Structure formats: structure tokens, C-alpha cells
Amino acid sequence: MCLPRSHTPPRRIGKLFLMAPVNEKQQAHDLIERLAPGQISAVVHLLEVMADPVARAIAKAPFDDEPVTAEEEKSLAEAREWLKHNKPIPDEQVLAELGITQEDINNFREPK
């Protein structure tokens, strides 16, 4: 178990030690400073996912347990067959062909 580090020494009351409250952001910075370079990239990815509202919504979404219809199965089979003979098309290319930029997506707001 990793106890939070405090910048002020703990106070002792009988057998108990009271730790001064630690600024959580500072504690996070201190912990990141102690990580190995390979661990930092994992933490950065985790923070990006946590800070992204879309990623959070997807992570919290209920599992889609509806059965795949025959029509959907046919479409999937056609797509898989197409991929056997063609390179996948990057999202950026599809967006460019539709005249949509990443900025448009980032700034999109649902109509009220």
C-alpha cells in the first residue's frame, strides 16, 4: 500500500499519526515524477481517456447484447471480404472527402 507523501511532518497523537492533507494534484505530480518512462505513457493514456467525455460515456455505456441480424451479418461479411482485397481507408481520408475536419468534430454540439 502506498501512503500519500506529505510535505509537512506527521503529528503524533498517542499511537496515531495524523498526516497533513496533501494537495491531490501535487501528489499526482510527485507520483508521476517517480515513474519509469514506459509507465508515464500508460498514465498519459489513462488521463486522456479519463479527461475525454466521449471516452467516459463509451466506457459507461451498457453492453450491447442485441443479436446481430441477418442483414447486419451480410454487411459484415461483405466488409470483411472487401478488406481482403483492399487497404482500409483511414478516418482522416473519409473525413476529408466529406469536407469535415477534426476541429469540426471537436467543436460539434448536438442541436437543442
Q: What is the mean pLDDT, run by run of 10 residues, along the chain of 112 residues?
A: 52 60 80 90 85 81 89 96 94 90 82 75
Residue 1 in domain = no
Which domain range does residue 21 map to?
A: 11-106
- The C-alpha cell 475525454 sits at 52
Residue 79 in domain = yes
Total domains, the chain: 1
Residue 112 in domain = no
* Cα separation, 92 vs 39, whole angstroms: 29
pTM for the whole structure:
0.36
13 beta partners: 16
CA angle 32, 36, 42 (to 5 degrees): 70
Residue 62 in domain = yes
Residue 88 in domain = yes
pLDDT of residue 70: 96
Residue 2 in domain = no
Find out whether 7 and 27 touch, Cβ atoms under 8 Å: no
CA-nearest of 11, 30, 28 to 19 is 11
Residue 86 in domain = yes
